[in-house]
Every structure is written in structure tokens, then in C-alpha cells.
């Protein structure tokens, strides 16, 4: 088991990539602190599945855009398990707004959830990793941070901000044996974008060297690699999991 005796905190764990990552980590021996911003029922289901796989689980609601809620959830998680070994930031928001007619409420939500949310939880978790001699933090960014995406400027901007954040944190925390890496998924079939995939499936397939739509397990597998001791020499890096949409 690649994560035996490790405790990993996962945001956005109720659905999609976060859910898949939580269940994969449970299979690999991790104990889990799982949070979601609003879908308690779905998170309860994930927690029960993880427990059946042998994990100890602490879970609950916390808004990643609310610094105090995140500080409290992280503190309670560390107290529950006695330590934290890693973090995976999966919480995200994907809302359209054309640039010229841009809705500033959408802009603010994109920044609050997709960028500041990563800042808050990373800053809250890092001291616990440092205290116990190191660990791994993984943030889900997006291919849109590198290529842009029509009508999604706020999302693309916020996800690009995560890249700058994690590369800087990697430099600052590397001497403390804390690894900070990112994953940039291409189009991946989650609830956030499922309708978009249905409407544009052939376009996405034509733009992929593998002619395949990504699945949450593809990203979860990358999270496992980055959270395990297989990636001890890797920090400040972005894994582009996109089926060959760009190189």
C-alpha cells in the first residue's frame, strides 16, 4: 500500500476528482480528512465507502474561501489523527463569463474558491507537515491556466495563480522537506463539465492525441503518485494530464 499510515486531507471530496482521489487513497491505506463546501450527503457517502475500505475518516463541511472555517477544520483534523502527512486541493468552481461583459461576481467567486481557497488550506496545513518532518501538498490547477479558455477568463486566471503560488511555496518549503506539486487536467468528465462534454464531445476528441475524454481516476492516479514516496524528488512541478491536447 502506497499510503499506509499516512493521513491526507482532501478538499472538494464529495464529488468528481476529489471523491475518486479519496477512495483511491483509502484503497492505498491512507486515513482521510475530507471536506466539502456544501454537499454533506454526498460527502457522507464517500466517508462511508472509505471506511469500508479500511480508512479512518474525519469529514465535514467547510468553505475553502472562508479562512476561519478552513483553519478550524485543519486543526480539528490534526487533533483527530495526531498528525497530517499530506494535502490534495480538489475544490473548484467553473463558471462562464465573457471577458468584455465580465460579471465581477463570477470573477470574485473564481478567485475566492479556485485561488484563495488553495492559499488558505495550504497555509493551514503546511505547519503540521513541517512539524512532523515533511510531507506532500498537491493542488489541482487546469490546462486552462496554460492555454486559456474562451468565456472562462476568471477561472483561467485563478488557476494560473495557483501555479505561481505552488511554485513559490515549493521553493520556500523545500528545505523543510515539504513537496508542493500541481496537476493540470485537460477535459475530464466530472459533474462540473459533463454537459459541456456531451455538447462538444467530437471537438474534444479531435483535439486529443489519444482521442479520449479524461476520467476522474486519471487525475486521482496522478494525485496518488505525487502524494506517495514515489515522488520524493519532485517539487514545484505540474503534471499535465490531458490526453495529448498540448505538449
Q: Please, which residues have CB within 8 angstroms of residue 219's CB and are 6 or more apart in sequence?
A: 17, 20, 21, 140, 183, 185, 188, 241
Q: Which position has the grid cell 472509505?
A: 50
User: Looking at 155, 166, 204, 246, which residue is catalytic?
Assistant: 155
* CA torsion through residues 105, 109, 110, 112, sign: positive
**Is 155 an annotated catalytic residue?**
yes
Asked if 184 and 155 count as a contact pair (C-beta separation under 8 A), the reply is no
Q: In whole angstroms, what is the distance from residue 175 CA to residue 169 CA?
A: 11
Burial class of residue 41, CB neighbours in 10 A (0-12, 13-18, 19+): exposed
Cell numbers 456531451 correspond to 198
SS (H, E, C) 152-167: EHHHHHHHHHHHHHHH
Report the alpha-carbon distance of residue 19 to residue 30 in Å, rounded.
14
In this structure, the strands spanning 57-61 and 238-241 are unpaired
Dig out the grid coordinates for 44 from the structure: 457522507
Residues with a catalytic annotation lie at 155
Amino acid at each position: 500500500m502506497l499510503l499506509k499510515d499516512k493521513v491526507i486531507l482532501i478538499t472538494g471530496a464529495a464529488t468528481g476528482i476529489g471523491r475518486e482521489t479519496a477512495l483511491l487513497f483509502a484503497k492505498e491505506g491512507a486515513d482521510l480528512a475530507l471536506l466539502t463546501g456544501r454537499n454533506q450527503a454526498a460527502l457522507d457517502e464517500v466517508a462511508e465507502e472509505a471506511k469500508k475500505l479500511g480508512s479512518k475518516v474525519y469529514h465535514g463541511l467547510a468553505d475553502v474561501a472562508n479562512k476561519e472555517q478552513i483553519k478550524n477544520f485543519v486543526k480539528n483534523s490534526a487533533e483527530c489523527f495526531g498528525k497530517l502527512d499530506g494535502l490534495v486541493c480538489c475544490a473548484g468552481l467553473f463558471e462562464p463569463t465573457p471577458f468584455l461583459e465580465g460579471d465581477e461576481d463570477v470573477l470574485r467567486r473564481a478567485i475566492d474558491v479556485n485561488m484563495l481557497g488553495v492559499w488558505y488550506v495550504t497555509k493551514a496545513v503546511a505547519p503540521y507537515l513541517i512539524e512532523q518532518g515533511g510531507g506532500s501538498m498537491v493542488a489541482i490547477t487546469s490546462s486552462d491556466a496554460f492555454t486559456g479558455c474562451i468565456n472562462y477568463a476568471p477561472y483561467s486566471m485563478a488557476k494560473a495563480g495557483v501555479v505561481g503560488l505552488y511554485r513559490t511555496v515549493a521553493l520556500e518549503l523545500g528545505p523543510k522537506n515539504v513537496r508542493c506539486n500541481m496537476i493540470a487536467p485537460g477535459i475530464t468528465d466530472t459533474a462540473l463539465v459533463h454537459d459541456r462534454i456531451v455538447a462538444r464531445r467530437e471537438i474534444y476528441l479531435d483535439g486529443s492525441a489519444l482521442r479520449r475524454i479524461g476520467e476522474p481516476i486519471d487525475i486521482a492516479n496522478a494525485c496518488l503518485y505525487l502524494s506517495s514516496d514515489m515522488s520524493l524528488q519532485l517539487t514545484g512541478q505540474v503534471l499535465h494530464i490531458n490526453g495529448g491536447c498540448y505538449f
